[in-house]
Structure 1
């Protein structure tokens, strides 16, 4: 599971494809859910690696 961080909020997705202009986000069924231009993308987090309980405060 991935989390795309945008200025307006977040989008959860299961998979994504990189394009020249941004990311195409897909749900668990492989259905397209959103296109996010790189200019609007603050971060793409892999939820399997990033866990809020392991967040560092430093």
Structure 2
């Protein structure tokens, strides 16, 4: 997932969709793997990454 933050060729919408999908899949797999555990606050924070990347561009531009 880290490499997505360096993408230059995807549009903001493309990055948002890709990140949202990957994060959603991650959360589903986490809950399947750790059946006795709930998502942690850091998992919730991940949900905001796509919006933040779109707002501030991929970090390659910094």
Q: Which TM bucket (shorter chain)?
A: under 0.3
Between Structure 1 and Structure 2, the one with more helix by share is 2
TM-score by length of 1: 0.24
